[in-house]
């Protein structure tokens, strides 16, 4: 199992490095495919899906909404120059059409299923799109790595510190293995890695920009949200008595199992970078 997880992790890291470095269409295409898969995983977990191999009207609207939203992200250009009106219009349109399906087909779907379908759209596809929006910002080629540092860096540091020094269980019911020491280690580790990255890389390629401490702070806050995202995804699984969201990634599960922390880290990094750096 460890070897499988390690190999899968290396492959995912290689894909992330390539697409984030290249940006634009390759990155957006990978995020789009991940979003479509994550949306399907969530609708199944939240019990508003049509079935294993069938899509109901709620899912169809959601999947079309994901496609329309990512098309808008691409044609708006991404980054801070994007036309937010079109992006917001796509989000509102998904909600309105889901409500239309609810009314027209009543009583086929209950209010909980409609709410779950909208939530799945907002939770996975929308949040994941901030990876692309961050990459397409001015200096986004340097800022997008803060998302990985805050999420995967936090996971690694939290695991290592928790394994060595973990004593106090902070979420015994939701995640028995997580400790307070591990959480603190994840946050501080992300801040340290971010600060080193900011000093050795960003400040070297952007002379005159002393942003190492700012980047360290952004990574620390991103790490906090990373842990929230991980625990939130775990809570959904526990609520619905499932082990994994899917089986797409050997040793890890589905897209939601591997990218749960990145989903909420990406918007945090994007907005903090917008306020503090750009």
Residue 10 predicted with pLDDT over 60: yes
Closest CA to 23 of 125, 126, 134: 134
Predicted pLDDT at 92 = 87
pTM score of the predicted model: 0.84
The C-alpha R_g of the chain, in whole angstroms, comes to 19
Length, in residues, of the chain: 278
Highest mean pLDDT among 91-95, 147-151, 233-237: 147-151
CA angle centred on 254, ends 50 and 102, rounded to 5°:
25
Predicted pLDDT at 206 = 78
CA separation for the pair 206, 236 (Å, rounded): 42
CA separation for the pair 145, 134 (Å, rounded): 9
Residue 101 predicted with pLDDT over 60: yes
The torsion defined by the Cα of 203, 207, 213 and 214, in degrees rounded to 10, comes to -100
CA separation for the pair 93, 27 (Å, rounded): 25
What are the domain boundaries of the chain? 24-135, 141-278
List b or e across 12-38, with b for residues whose CB sees 16 or more CB atoms inside 10 angstroms: eeeebeebbeebeeebbebbbebbbbb
Predicted pLDDT at 2 = 61
Mean confidence (pLDDT) of the chain: 87
Predicted pLDDT at 1 = 60
Confidence at 146, pLDDT banded by 50, 70, 90:
very high
Confidence at 9, pLDDT banded by 50, 70, 90:
confident
Per-residue pLDDT tens digits for 196-214: 999 999 988 877 778 999 9
Strands (E), 156-272: none
Residue 12 predicted with pLDDT over 70: yes
Predicted pLDDT at 209 = 78
Predicted pLDDT at 83 = 60
Torsion sign (Cα): 23, 29, 34, 35: positive
Torsions phi, psi for 179 (to 5 deg): -120, 160
């Amino acid at each position: 199992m460890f070897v499988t997880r390690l190999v899968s992790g290396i492959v995912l890291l290689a894909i992330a490095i390539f697409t984030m470095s290249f940006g634009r269409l390759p990155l957006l295409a990978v995020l789009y495919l991940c979003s479509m898969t994550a949306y399907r995983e969530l609708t199944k977990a939240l019990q508003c899906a049509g079935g294993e191999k069938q899509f109901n009207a709620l899912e169809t609207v959601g999947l079309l909404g994901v496609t329309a939203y990512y098309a808008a992200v691409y044609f708006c250009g991404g980054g801070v120059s994007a036309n937010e009106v079109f992006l917001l219009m796509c989000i509102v349109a998904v909600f309105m059409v889901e409500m239309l399906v609810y009314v027209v087909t009543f009583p086929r779907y209950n209010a909980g299923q409609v709410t779950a379908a909208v939530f799945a759209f907002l939770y996975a596809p929308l949040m994941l799109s901030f990876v692309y929006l961050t990459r397409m910002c001015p200096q986004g080629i340097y800022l997008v790595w803060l998302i990985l540092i805050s999420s995967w860096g936090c996971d690694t540091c939290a695991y290592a510190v928790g394994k060595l020094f973990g004593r106090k269980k902070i979420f015994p019911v939701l995640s028995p293995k997580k400790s307070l020491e591990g959480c603190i280690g994840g946050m501080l580790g992300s801040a340290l890695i971010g600060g080193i990255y900011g000093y050795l890389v960003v400040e070297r390629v952007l002379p005159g920009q002393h942003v190492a401490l700012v980047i360290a702070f952004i990574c620390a806050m991103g790490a906090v949200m990373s842990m929230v995202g991980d625990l939130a995804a775990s809570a959904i699984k526990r609520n619905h008595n499932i082990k994994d969201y899917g089986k797409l990634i050997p040793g890890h599960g589905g897209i939601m199992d591997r990218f749960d922390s990145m989903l909420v880290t990406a918007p945090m990094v994007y907005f903090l970078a917008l306020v503090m750096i750009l």
